[in-house]
Structure 1
Amino acid sequence: MSQPRNMQDYDKTYAEFQWPHYETYNFSRDVIDRWAEDPNKLALWWVDDHQNEVKMTFREVSEAAQKFCNVLQSQGIGKGDVVILILPRLVEWWVINIACLRIGAVVSPGTTQLTAKDLRFRLQTAEAKCVITNETLAGRIDEVIGECPTVQSRIILNSHREGWLNYHEAMVDASPEFPAVDLGANDNAILYFTSGTTGNPKMTVHTHTSYPVGHMVTGKYWLDLTPDDLHWNLSDTGWAKAAWSSLFGPWICGAALFIHHNDRFDPKQTLEFMGKYPITTFCGAPTIYRMLVLEDLKAYTFPTLRHCVGAGEPLNPEVISVWQEATGLTIRDGYGQTESVLLVCSFPAFEPRFGSMGKPTPGFDVQVIDEDGNILPTNREGDIAVRVKPNRPVGLFKEYWKDPAKTAAVYRGDWYLTGDRAYRDEDGYFWFVGRADDVILSAGYRIGPFEVESALLEHDAVAESAVVASPDELRGEIVKAFVVLAPGYSPSEALVKELQDYVKKVTAPYKYPRAIEFVTSLPKTISGKIRRVELRNMEWKR
């Protein structure tokens, strides 16, 4: 069993922890430039499936980011301007993130699976001034750019396209010097789009002095990183998890990132890489681990691996046991949200209880509360909440941008509500019960039922639809749709596939319903609202 590096005594660390306070902060200057003082300090090690490798030091990352700051400035992009960034795991994704932070722009990452409709919504709603992507998505953006009047700059990688600035050509003559902008508590840094139960995705805003600083606990205490580590996180660059474990957490600790750029996840290749490269720490969604343990783990070696974590959804105890038997390492669950940094975790300093979420993160007062905001006694189910009064902890989001009503709805007295439910045992361990709302957590993806229902209703065959989470052994949950057909249509396997393909086209492919059940009616309230909870409970009792 590997010994923890950064937390030896959980109770002592939790009791004594204090957040650092910054009047002004710039992650590019205060973290990247600091590590760049050592010209040989490795920042990232990138590989692809074609024997290509790139290694960059912190100094090289800093210089490249400063050059891109000058490119952004030449395009009229500066402090407070929203930059939509949609790229796969390419080195430029990291450089561009650091540049946006340095210049004070608001970076808004997105998955490469977004459709033209998704992109139009994001560009319009965020009032984006700049969009950066590759040839794959540039065409989709060009389909809707006429409806996005705030966009004044389009930057493309590895290609040439009319109306777009080529990233690499623009970098050639750019100056490698750009002074970091001083940024304060109200200056927006990151803008995430996160699915809810109703309507379009919400815009979750984080600030410069809160979110990057808050991931100090992510990197130090959960990932257990030091400057000697090579950390590998398997996460889509469009999700907050990439910021957690592929950017802020590791680089605050001076750890180097291992990055594998490929088209799809390959469990055999992943296991081979753990023996081929000196990877010391590993982070993956529970779905990843479920796929890894299906392989013959005895056929692989893990010579440098010392620490493993998982996040995104609860991890099955049996998977943890199989992985532990093969590697000698316990997968440490971490819990948090797009709206936060790490909130609860099975930290390396104490024995985990398989299936438990762990204990609260230093710097956060996390409790299970009732409807009146009272802390519940042990073993009583309630809402997971974070105390925000009288002192708001570092790492929580600023607001749902342009939506004060939704922002206000997630607070109850002195508490911020995570939207999840749990209970706490006599020893302080949290045990996840489920979402308080209808959001579906599938293979690490957060999917709002409204978006899928809306897509289905656009099809002529669908009169009504209700979408819920259905249990799945591999993905944890899958999207299931209950569909009432319009007159003239009959249930068939062909129609199931047609509806699935249709949803893939009009919304991001990962959101499509993997299961469709045709029904004659849907359960509803007296006021006519669909009772998704009834359908969900039925699914989980099967």
Structure 2
Amino acid sequence: MKTLLKLQILKSLWLPKSRCRLFHKQPRLLASQLFSHDKSARQDELQVPEYFNFASDVLDKWSQLEKDGKRPSNPAFWWVSGEGNEVRWSFEELGFHSKKVANVLSEICGLQKGDRIMLILPKIPEWWLVNVACMRTGIALIQGTSQLTAKDILYRLQASKAKCIIASDTVASAVDSVASHCQFLKTKLIVSEGRRDGWLNFNELYKSQPADHICVKTKIQDPMVIYFTSGTTGSPKMAEHTQGSLGLRPVISERYWLDLTPEDIMWCLSDTGWIVASMGSVLDPWVFGSGVFVHNLPRAESTVILNTLSRFPITAMFAAPTLFRMLVEVPYQDLNSYKFMSLQQCLSGGEPLNPEVTEQWKRKTGLTIREIYGQTETGIICSVFKGMKIKPGSMGKAVPLYDVQIIDENANVLPPGQEGDIALRIKPKRPIGLFSKYIDNPEKTAESERGNFFVTGDRGTRDEDGYFWFLGRSDDIINSSGYRIGPFEVESALLEHPAVAESAVVSSPDPLRGEVVKAFVVLSAAFSSCDLEKLTLELQEHVKKVTAPYKYPRKMEFVQQLPKTITGKIKRHELRNKEWGRK
């Protein structure tokens, strides 16, 4: 039997030559071909291809396998609205629809390879079609969440000089309110059943276009997607990912953060504006030939999520820690009534996952949560691999694409157990998965490098076994009387107490110690009317017992909610600025 998937780039793929020969000698399905692990392979021995396009080199190959009867009948894309509507596409149908959208962009909108499109859509099928259509045309896609305000949209349009925007009714009025300040914006496409003045109707144009489209040739350094960083400090920056750093990365990154087969169904609950949406519900599952499941949830509700996991044959799910924290608050007897007949893998990322949540989820469902760690700029750089021993609170080990180290202020690698900056080695060879640059911001690009490393801005440690431990953002670390305290450890300790639903820990000025730990606490519903003075003392004693005594929060404030970014990350800098009287 001949090799089932012959990527045109296979011979020059970023793999050791010995592995390329192995694939020709032992034909396998795509996932098996691309993910057999050779631990002896070093990055400096790998060869990077000149050209790569995810649509033609991966998606269209799976489509051909379907036609040849060499892929199971799993849908490649499975969308449900929650109101009875459902869409199921094979890879062949995904190709058909995305080629029509590619013609809308190139023939109707006049966009060319290298142009930029801003996409602001919720979790509807058109979001996936535009993603693939941009791959086919070589257009750089700028992702945005539907929670963006008019001010956010104006900033992103002016910074990116996008020629086209594709949006839903939800944000159309916000776009119209700022469009006059964006003379470079030539075309507005609305995804709606109705019409809107000044906008072209996406659905009408789609219906009129043929499904014949020749995919452009793209080099691995060509821009693919632009993400605006979440902006927990300062204005968001444009992080550019290329066809190589985002598209080729999952082809060569092997079975580490995600371990799937063509029989699997993956549900990623990330918002469409976040890089994990691209990795968890577009690129990485489709490399394996797996199905992508989508539930168009207007808001996260425990019962809806649990019912979905019980009703559909979802085998893998990714969710942010906030969602898992919400799910474990469901009473045991209620959670136990849901039967996840297919679910095998649970993954979490975006922020550190508190050990208490992991333990509760395991106790209540029997399932393990594997943590991943990464950033907009890096993609996933650490993960708890499938089958790996879990150390509660650790974000796992470095994925093979990256040489991850803990370094000091002089870029010296620190020994195990010492706190420092989490960094990636970028010299003498820059890793393929790392973003290319901050667009139009060479100063910030340069600031992110220290010696031979890209510095993530996060603090952490590594133990003797190679496991990494997150302490906090560099500017979140609290220095009290000479003791350095990471907020995450204190937050995790607080979360173990049943009274605490959420918490955020920051520094607060103190005349004696310079600064002390302050905790902002959101109470669980059952404790909303308790004696706060008594509870404060109880929580302080609890933290002293769970962590080192000097780490307990000397100050505590109870709040209704915590400030968060549009991707759900806690804005600790806002709380810290409030404490220190900064604007």
State the partner residue of 2:205: 170
Q: Could you list the runs of 4 or more consecutive aligned residues of structure 1 that deviate by over 6 angstroms after TM superposition?
A: 469-472, 478-482, 507-519
State the partner residue of 2:90: 57
Give the Å deviation of 1:210.
2.1
1: CA distance, partners of 2:126 / 2:503: 32
State the partner residue of 1:417: 455
State the partner residue of 2:216: 181
The 1:140–1:272 alpha-carbon spacing in structure 2 relative to 1, beyond 3 Å, is same
State the partner residue of 2:528: none
For the pair 1:114 / 2:148, whether they are aligned, the reply is: yes
State the partner residue of 1:150: 184
Deviates more, 1:234-243 or 1:36-45: 36-45
Deviates more, 1:257-266 or 1:13-22: 13-22
State the partner residue of 1:214: 249
Q: Which amino acid aligns with 1:287?
A: T
The 1:518–1:66 alpha-carbon spacing in structure 2 relative to 1, beyond 3 Å, is closer
1: CA distance, partners of 2:144 / 2:262: 29
Q: SS of the residue aligned with 2:76?
A: strand
Give the Å deviation of 1:426.
1.2
Give the Å deviation of 1:437.
3.0
Q: Which amino acid aligns with 1:437?
A: D
The 1:197–1:133 alpha-carbon spacing in structure 2 relative to 1, beyond 3 Å, is closer
For the pair 1:228 / 2:263, whether they are aligned, the reply is: yes
Q: Once the two structures are superposed, what CA deviation does each residue of 1:20-65 show, in whole Å capped at 9, x if it has no partner?
A: 6321011111111111111455211111121111101111111111
Q: Which amino acid aligns with 1:169?
A: E
Match of 1:193 among 211, 228, 243: 228
The 1:173–1:20 alpha-carbon spacing in structure 2 relative to 1, beyond 3 Å, is farther
For the pair 1:307 / 2:345, whether they are aligned, the reply is: yes
The answer for unaligned runs of 5 or more in structure 2 is 1-30, 68-72, 478-490, 510-559
Q: Any conservation in 1 of the 2:253–2:400 contact (CA below 8 Å)?
A: no
Q: Once the two structures are superposed, what CA deviation does each residue of 1:177-196 show, in whole Å capped at 9, x if it has no partner?
A: 11111111331111000134
Q: SS of the residue aligned with 2:218?
A: coil
The 1:262–1:478 alpha-carbon spacing in structure 2 relative to 1, beyond 3 Å, is farther
Q: Once the two structures are superposed, what CA deviation does each residue of 1:441-464 show, in whole Å capped at 9, x if it has no partner?
A: xxxxxxxxxxxxxxxxxxxxxxxx
Q: Which amino acid aligns with 1:86?
A: I
Give the Å deviation of 1:349.
3.2
State the partner residue of 1:459: none
State the partner residue of 1:72: 105
2: CA distance, partners of 1:514 / 1:358: 24
Q: Any conservation in 2 of the 1:29–1:180 contact (CA below 8 Å)?
A: yes
State the partner residue of 1:97: 131
State the partner residue of 1:48: 81
2: CA distance, partners of 1:223 / 1:511: 23
Aligned residues: 470
For the pair 1:407 / 2:470, whether they are aligned, the reply is: no
Q: Once the two structures are superposed, what CA deviation does each residue of 1:149-171 show, in whole Å capped at 9, x if it has no partner?
A: 11111101123101111111101
State the partner residue of 1:26: 53
Q: SS of the residue aligned with 1:420?
A: strand
The 1:347–1:53 alpha-carbon spacing in structure 2 relative to 1, beyond 3 Å, is same
Match of 1:241 among 251, 256, 276: 276
Q: Any conservation in 1 of the 2:256–2:383 contact (CA below 8 Å)?
A: no
Match of 2:162 among 121, 128, 144: 128
* Identity level (%): 43
Q: SS of the residue aligned with 2:179?
A: helix
The 1:72–1:481 alpha-carbon spacing in structure 2 relative to 1, beyond 3 Å, is farther
Q: Which amino acid aligns with 2:196?
A: R
Q: SS of the residue aligned with 2:475?
A: coil
Give the Å deviation of 1:136.
1.0
Match of 2:41 among 9, 16, 24: 16
2: CA distance, partners of 1:116 / 1:215: 34
Q: SS of the residue aligned with 1:355?
A: coil
Q: Any conservation in 2 of the 1:219–1:248 contact (CA below 8 Å)?
A: no
Q: Once the two structures are superposed, what CA deviation does each residue of 1:361-395 show, in whole Å capped at 9, x if it has no partner?
A: 01211010111111101100001111111111111
State the partner residue of 1:318: 356
The 1:509–1:253 alpha-carbon spacing in structure 2 relative to 1, beyond 3 Å, is closer
For the pair 1:342 / 2:349, whether they are aligned, the reply is: no
Give the Å deviation of 1:12.
6.7
Question: 5 Å matches for 1:125-524?
Answer: 125-158=159-192, 159-196=194-231, 199-216=234-251, 220-295=255-330, 296-437=334-475, 473-475=500-502, 477=504, 523=580
Q: SS of the residue aligned with 2:336?
A: helix
Q: Any conservation in 2 of the 1:219–1:250 contact (CA below 8 Å)?
A: no
Q: Once the two structures are superposed, what CA deviation does each residue of 1:53-100 show, in whole Å capped at 9, x if it has no partner?
A: 110111111111111111111211111111000000001100000001
Q: Any conservation in 2 of the 1:285–1:311 contact (CA below 8 Å)?
A: yes
Q: Any conservation in 1 of the 2:274–2:567 contact (CA below 8 Å)?
A: no
2: CA distance, partners of 1:321 / 1:513: 26
Q: Any conservation in 1 of the 2:225–2:240 contact (CA below 8 Å)?
A: yes
Aligned-CA RMSD value: 3.2
Q: Which amino acid aligns with 1:392?
A: R
1: CA distance, partners of 2:379 / 2:159: 24
The answer for unaligned runs of 5 or more in structure 1 is 1-5, 440-468, 483-499, 525-529, 533-542
Give the Å deviation of 1:515.
12
TM-score, with structure 1 as normaliser: 0.80
Q: SS of the residue aligned with 2:60?
A: helix
Q: Once the two structures are superposed, what CA deviation does each residue of 1:124-151 show, in whole Å capped at 9, x if it has no partner?
A: 1100000001111111100011100111
1: CA distance, partners of 2:573 / 2:472: 21
